[in-house]
Amino acid sequence: MREVVVTGIGSTPFGKLEGRRIESLAIEAANAALHRAGLDRKSVGAVYLGNFVAGPLSGQEVLAGIVADELGLENVPCTKVEGACASGGIAFRHAVLAVSSGLCDAALVVGVEKMTHATGGQVTQALNCAMDNRSDGPSGLTFPGLFGLAWRIHAAKYGTTRDEVSAVVIKNKANGLKNPLAQMGASLSLDVIRQSQMIADPLQLYDCCPVSDGAAALVVVAKDRARGAPDLPIDILAAVQTRGSARIAGHEDVVSFEATVKAAERAYAAASVGPKDIDFVELHDCFSMAEVIDSEDLGLVPRGEGAKWAAQGRTGMDGDIPINPSGGLLAKGHPVGATGVGQLYETVLQLRGQHSNQVKDAAIGMTHNLGGTGVACTVSILRRPDA
């Protein structure tokens, strides 16, 4: 397998992007990434586009081909990949496979979603396609509900409190204030969070990521073909994908997702690094409790202590392991199919030392993208080339 790097990156802001079509968002981000990659478009040998709900919410499929056509790419394979909220991370992994295996020298990765034009009920219904609708769906369960269920178990097992979980929200919302692409940065207090609307008890309004529009893109290139790139190429040490059970009954309990645990194990092995070598992580905080669980599953925080570490500041910008310096899904937003690619975009900026909320001396970064009821997961590890 060849060594691969990320060269050009591009992104729209995440948020409520009114009057924009989904194709337009994807093309904007992808064209920016191609411009910054400094390569001949003829050398792009494949396109992988992560998207989840363009069919039900925008009535548009075949987005990968539409985007490639506008970008003036050759008649190369253009593939949409879907793994619910992990669609973007999966698109990235496929591009890495295509380039590292030698199938092509460069591949374009795009993630895109357009959601805010739909009603809340339509969005919830579309997102519920990510459940195994033979088993959990008929009960009326929702994704906030899944993490409400997880919260009670986490609290009973580990004594996790409302205010400890709020520390995750306060941290990510504050980080979001420093990210110009973020939808909902905010300066929040424990009281404001405690008094917010109940969504899926004990999960409240500020525990949930917003509904978002947005697109992100990056170009994956063979390292020996990236010498002319204008921006510092970032090494890809691991791009792992796993599956887990699509239904609650298939999990031991819902305070750990085996897809994340396995993906992390394999990513550490592939990159020949351990959790202590990771300088920061962009992980899948679709809900505050999700960040708690993810941080434990990734081995970055001891089991049961995810919320306590947040409350102690150990996952803050100057903590043991900064989590979601971008603001994460909670503050940056969660345009579902774009999220995984957006996490990589943020990670590349950090490793170039160019992030607006820079982690000091960041040399190795991790991303974690989780789909459905833990049915699909990707974990990637990237490194600054001089580290």
Partner 1 sequence: MPETQAVTKKTNPLPIEALKCGHCGKLVPGPREICPACHEPALVPHMAAGSGALSSWTMIRRPPAAFREEKEYAVAIVTLDAGIKVTGRLETPDDRLEPGARVLAVGFHKGVPVFRAV
Cα 267 to Cα 133, 261, 271: the distances in Å are 30, 10, 6
Whose Cβ is closer to partner 1: residue 108's or residue 254's? 254
The CB-of-139 to partner 1 minimum distance in angstroms stands at 5
User: Does 202 sit behind a cis peptide bond, omega within 30 degrees of 0 on the bond before it?
Assistant: yes
The CB-of-131 to partner 1 minimum distance in angstroms stands at 10
Residue 113, beta-bridge partner list:
214
Active site residues: 85, 334
Contacts of residue 2, Cβ cutoff 8 Å, sequence gap at least 6: 99, 100, 101, 102, 222, 223, 224
# binding residues, partner 1 (CB under 8 A): 36
Residue 34, beta-bridge partner list:
none
The CB-of-181 to partner 1 minimum distance in angstroms stands at 26
CA-based torsion, 297, 302, 304, 309: positive or negative = negative
Whose Cβ is closer to partner 1: residue 60's or residue 128's? 128
Whose Cβ is closer to partner 1: residue 118's or residue 192's? 118
User: Does 13 sit behind a cis peptide bond, omega within 30 degrees of 0 on the bond before it?
Assistant: no
User: Of residues 292-311, which lie at the interface with partner 1 (CB under 8 A)?
Assistant: none
Residue 329 C-beta-side C-alpha neighbours within 13 Å: 29
Tell me how far apart the terminal alpha carbons of the chain are, to the nearest angstrom: 21
- CA–CA separation, 124 vs 113, rounded Å? 14
Site string for partner 1, 192-231 (x = CB under 8 A): -----xxxxxxx----------------------------
Whose Cβ is closer to partner 1: residue 151's or residue 309's? 151
The CB-of-84 to partner 1 minimum distance in angstroms stands at 15
Contact predicate 123/57, CB 8 Å: yes
Whose Cβ is closer to partner 1: residue 105's or residue 136's? 136
User: Of residues 109-168, which lie at the interface with partner 1 (CB under 8 A)?
Assistant: 119-122, 124-125, 128, 134-136, 138-142, 144-145, 148-153, 156
The CB-of-18 to partner 1 minimum distance in angstroms stands at 22
Contact set with partner 1 (CB under 8 A)? 119-122, 124-125, 128, 134-136, 138-142, 144-145, 148-153, 156, 197-203, 247-249, 253-254
